[in-house]
Amino acid sequence: MLVIEILPVPLTSIFSLYVVRKRPLWLPGIVERLYIEKDIKHDTAQPHPDKTSSIVTRRRCTIGLSIMILFDFLVPFTILMGLYITRRRPIWFKNIVSRLYADLLVKNKNIDYPVEVLDGGPTDYKTLEKKVIELQKSNNEFALNITIKNKKLARHPSS
């Protein structure tokens, strides 16, 4: 990529601009896999998908990347910023991607989804919130059962 970046046209900046404007469906999955091992101590998810927030973020990113294209003609730093993001995994980048895709329902193909489709209405958020609470309860029950089982095994070793 660095060799391509030395060419007269800053291709990484143009590609970044394409990603911001077209919002390909593969980007959120890549970002999730990038941040999967990072210990995030605070919630970075956006509270509710918001179309206006997504549009504002797209405009700001477009303006920022357009400025970066101009500077990339002098010094190729977009590739360096990409390396910084992949190595350090800053929270602000994940937040930007979340805001970019806030108005799109991006589904992970590795997860089985029910047939129902959310239309983005307020009742869908309530339904989703209830499902998340149910999932958290079942996870807590599962963890409690494993803890009890491990304590029993520790008290009565069968060796």
Give the chain as a 3 state SS string: CHHHHHCCCCHHHHHHHHHHHHCCCHHHHHHHHHCCCCCCCCCCCCCCCCHHHHHHHHHHHHHHHHHHHHHHCCCCCHHHHHHHHHHHCCHHHHHHHHHHCCCCCCCCCCCCCCCCCCCCCHHHHHHHHHHHHHHHHHHHHHHHHHHHHHHHHHHCCCC
pLDDT at residue 115 in the model:
42
What is the mean predicted confidence (pLDDT) over 85-100?
Answer: 90
Where is average pLDDT lowest: 13-27, 80-94, 112-126, 127-141?
112-126
Question: Per-residue pLDDT averaged across 89-100, rounded?
Answer: 90
CA distance 148 to 87: 40
pLDDT of 1 above 70: no
pLDDT digits (tens, 9 = 90+) for 51-88: 777 888 899 989 988 888 888 877 778 888 888 998 99
Instruction: Give the pTM.
Output: 0.57
For residue 101, the model assigns a pLDDT of: 87
